[in-house]
């Protein structure tokens, strides 16, 4: 009986040793988390998306640290084919946004949609410590999505026109008078700097999974990548 008891204890010890060894090997192959600024866009649930972003010291705009963040924002913006991006979306709680509306993006919309949404072109623009003044208090409701709420869209009311001012990546004062779709983009990105997502202000019953039809057609066998291939 003692021998049997001893044998059981040995097996138990081996089990613990095996688990420890398995965890050790697992840690060896576990991907290393790279600190921000990320090369991907974070998703709803990431605490940084709910923080009130801090202003950038204007004297540091040309510093290596801030310029690295700006470069990473541009790289991610272009990789995701975005029209707007806020620094918190790459894990950096600073008041920096990137906006732009290119010909390539414009071509994705019909002439009727472009007119209805009052879409206009804007080259890639970095705005540091942005401030917004509403210049037209009429609100327009259109579907809106966000790379940080991947796969969904909803109807969101936004002011029709805003004035945007701040500093560009060279520390120079910047001022933009915008209306229509550009105003919507700016308001969306400003929300990010204040820890707000469009899901907080959307018409709740309009929330839609953008791929619901494909999901049904493929019996649920659909992969949703969180980073462009």
Task: State the Cα–Cα distance between residues 85 and 74, nearest whole angstrom.
Answer: 9
3-class state of residue 166 by DSSP:
strand
**From 144, 189, 213, 217, active-site residue:** 189
Contacts of 88 (CB under 8 A, 6+ apart): 42, 48, 49, 51, 53, 94, 192, 193, 195
3-class state of residue 17 by DSSP:
helix
Task: State the Cα–Cα distance between residues 6 and 40, nearest whole angstrom.
Answer: 53
Task: State the Cα–Cα distance between residues 168 and 137, nearest whole angstrom.
Answer: 27
Neighbours of 203 (CB within 10 A): 12
Q: Assess whether 147 carries a catalytic annotation.
A: no
Neighbours of 100 (CB within 10 A): 20
Catalytic residues: 189
């Amino acid at each position: 009986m003692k021998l049997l008891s001893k044998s059981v204890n040995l097996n138990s010890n081996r089990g613990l040793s095996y688990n420890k060894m398995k965890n050790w090997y697992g840690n060896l192959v576990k991907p290393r988390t790279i600190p921000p600024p990320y090369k991907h866009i974070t998703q709803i649930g990431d605490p940084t998306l709910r923080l009130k972003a801090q202003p950038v010291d204007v004297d540091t705009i040309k510093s290596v640290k801030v310029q690295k963040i700006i470069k990473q924002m541009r790289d991610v913006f272009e990789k995701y084919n975005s029209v707007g991006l806020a620094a918190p979306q790459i894990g950096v709680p600073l008041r920096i946004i990137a906006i732009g509306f290119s010909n390539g993006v414009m071509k994705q919309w019909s002439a009727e949609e472009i007119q209805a949404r009052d879409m206009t072109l804007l080259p890639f623009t970095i705005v540091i410590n942005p401030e917004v003044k509403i210049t037209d208090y009429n609100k327009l409701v259109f579907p809106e999505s966000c790379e940080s709420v991947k796969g969904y869209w909803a109807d969101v009311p936004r002011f029709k026109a805003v004035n945007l001012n701040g500093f560009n990546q060279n520390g120079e004062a910047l001022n933009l008078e915008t209306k229509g779709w550009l105003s919507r983009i700016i308001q969306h990105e400003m929300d990010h700097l204040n820890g707000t997502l469009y899901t907080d202000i959307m018409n709740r019953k309009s929330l839609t999974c953008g791929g619901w039809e494909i999901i049904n057609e493929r019996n649920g066998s659909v992969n949703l990548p969180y980073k462009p291939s």
